[in-house]
Amino acid sequence: MVDFSLKGKYALITGASRGIGEAIAMALGQYGAHCILVSRKMEGLEAVAAKMKEKGYEATPMVCHMGYVDKIAELFVEVKKRFGKIDILVNNAAANPYFGDMLGADEGVWDKTNAVNLKGPFFMIQNAAKLMIETKTKGAIVNVASIAGIRPAEFQGIYSTTKAALIHLTKSYAKELAAHGIRVNALAPGLTETKFAGALFQNEDIYKMATAAIPMHRHASPEEMAGTVLYLVSDASSFTTGETVVCDGGMVI
Ligand SMILES: NC(=O)c1ccc[n+]([C@@H]2O[C@H](COP(=O)([O-])OP(=O)(O)OC[C@H]3O[C@@H](n4cnc5c(N)ncnc54)[C@H](OP(=O)(O)O)[C@@H]3O)[C@@H](O)[C@H]2O)c1
C-alpha cells in the first residue's frame, strides 16, 4: 500500500512563517506530523502555529537564524530535549539579498547568500542526521533548491550558484546517509507567489515576460509545492534518494 501518513513523526521546517514553508508545514501537519516551525521571527511562526492548531494539526514554533552554526547547534539541543528525536527535516529558508550582475557584487552579499542558503542547510543536515543516527530513526530530508540552481537566473548569479550547490549537497549527503536509512532529496520550485518573488509580481511587464517563458503560462501557488515535499518525506518515496524534483510548469524541460 502506498503510505503518505506521517503520524507520530516530528518534522522540522525552516522558513515556515510564510510562503512555501508555511504551505509545506500545513501539508505535513494535515498528514499527521508534529511540525517544528523555524524562522528568525517568533511572531510569524506563532501565527502559522495558531492556524495549524485551529485545523487540529500539531505545531511548535522555534526561532533560529540559518546563518549561524552555533544557533543551529542550540536549536538541535532544544529539539532533542523537547521531542527526543526528529524524523523529517525540510531546509526551506533562503536569502537573496542582491539583484544585479556579479561584477558589481561585494563580499557581504556573497557571504550572506552562502551562509543562509548553503552553510545553514549543511549544518542543519549534519545536526539532524547525527540525531537520527543516534535514535536509529530512518529519516527523510528535503532541501528546497530552485530552478535557478539548474538554469542560472538573470541578475541572480550568486543565489543561483548557492542553489546549484544545494542540489549537489543533496546528492552528496544522500550517498553518505543511505547506509543509515536516511534519504535526502530536493525540490526545485519555479515561479511561486510569495514575498520572496514579490518584485516579479509587482511589475506587470516583468510578470508577463516571466510567465511567457513558462509553458503553462502561469505562476504557482505555494500549496502546489507542498505535495512534492509530502511525497519526498513520506514512505511513498521510500526508494528515492539524491533526487531533485522540478515543479516549474515546464520551464526547464
Ligand atoms: N517564490 C519563488 O518563486 C521561489 C522559486 C524558487 C525557489 N524558491 C525557494 O523557496 C524557498 C522558500 O521561499 P519563499 O518564496 O516561500 O520565501 P518567503 O515567502 O520570503 O519566505 C522565506 C522564509 O524564510 C525565513 N527566513 C529568511 N531568512 C532566514 C534565516 N536567515 N534564517 C531562518 N529563516 C529565514 C522567513 O522568515 P523570517 O523572516 O521570520 O526569518 C520566511 O519564513 C526558498 O528556499 C527559495 O529560494 C522560491
Express each pLDDT in 70-96 by its tens digit.
999 999 999 999 999 999 999 999 999
**2 alpha carbon to ligand 1 midpoint, in Å?**
31
- Residue identified by cell 548569479 is 157
Express each pLDDT in 133-146 by its tens digit.
999 999 999 999 99
Amino acid at 56: G
**196 alpha carbon to ligand 1 midpoint, in Å?**
6
Pocket of ligand 1 (CB under 6 A): 14-21, 39-41, 44, 65-67, 92-95, 116, 144, 146, 189, 191-192, 194-197
Q: Which of 14, 22, 40, 111 to mutate to test the pocket of ligand 1 (most atoms within 8 A of CB)?
A: 40
* Sheet of 244-247, strand order: 58-63, 34-39, 10-14, 88-91, 140-144, 183-189, 244-247
* Active site annotation includes 173: no
Could you say which of 10, 57, 159, 173 is catalytic?
A: 159
**What is the rounded CA–CA span in Å between residue 52 and residue 83?**
19
Atom index in ligand 1 nearest the CA of residue 200 equals 3
Express each pLDDT in 147-182 by its tens digit.
999 999 999 999 999 999 999 999 999 999 999 999
Residue 58, φ and ψ in degrees, nearest 5:
-100, 130
Please give the class, per CATH, of domain 10-245. alpha beta
* Mean pLDDT, all residues of the chain: 98
Atom index in ligand 1 nearest the CA of residue 39 equals 34
Shortest-distance Cα residue to atom 47 of ligand 1: 94
β-strands 10-14, 140-144: how paired? Answer: unpaired
**199 alpha carbon to ligand 1 midpoint, in Å?**
14
